[in-house]
Structure 1
């Protein structure tokens, strides 16, 4: 699995420091060596404007604010992403119901499967 993730640039948009650190550790275990983080929609959008990302993980709820602006920005640029949340599908817009969703807390194997699907070429 690590060969698929080696050299990939992953954006994590997460406002909870412990969740962020755990996710970074999991991504490192999976072989990702380039993980960039943002805690707000504004930070994330600025990063996406300035850099290339292969995929992104978006916390659905950033300190009470939905991450929809980042989702729309990524979608417009063709960057694959998934939402992460502790609330299941509650709070997703109808237009995002088909997006991948990773429910917290998650394990490294689930994160690996999700990233594999995000980074695999479409069939």
Structure 2
């Protein structure tokens, strides 16, 4: 997969730490992705997860307003692939999210790129539900 394969891909970024959010946004834009967000609040993240056309998402587990689990559940329903970003171990996640892709904080630009490429490649194999 080349950078052209990521060009125009819409990636939802949910992250409440400003410096980390800006870093993720810059890294994804450098790959040619279109960043949806970044958003820091659960309510807005959930609306975007429900209504935006998305190719993938990077979700910080703990954000303003609670944890990101309702957003993850919505993305699962829609078939949008995502990675959970967290410094916590798997045991801190609900059972149904433990086997999903993870970015362990702190993660590098290369780890982010590899994860997004993997999400996009895997998405081509799954049917998706359009936004409502």
Both proteins in one fold, TM over 0.5: yes
Cα offset, 1:90, TM superposition: 4.1
Cα offset, 1:103, TM superposition: 0.8
1:12 aligns with 2:32: no
Match of 2:36 in 1: 36
Match of 1:74 in 2: 75
Match of 2:93 in 1: 92
Question: Secondary structure of 1:26's partner?
Answer: helix
Match of 1:122 in 2: 125
* Number of matched pairs: 122
Deviation string, structure 1 residues 90-117 (Cα, Å, up to 9, x no partner): 4111111110000111111111110111
RMSD: 1.6
- Residue ranges of structure 2 left out of the alignment (5+ in a row): 127-132
Cα offset, 1:64, TM superposition: 7.0
Structure 1: how far apart are the matches of 2:114 and 2:24?
Answer: 14
**So what's the TM-score if we normalise by structure 1?**
0.91
**So what's the TM-score if we normalise by structure 2?**
0.85
Question: Secondary structure of 2:12's partner?
Answer: strand
| Dislocated runs of 4+, deviation >4 Å | none
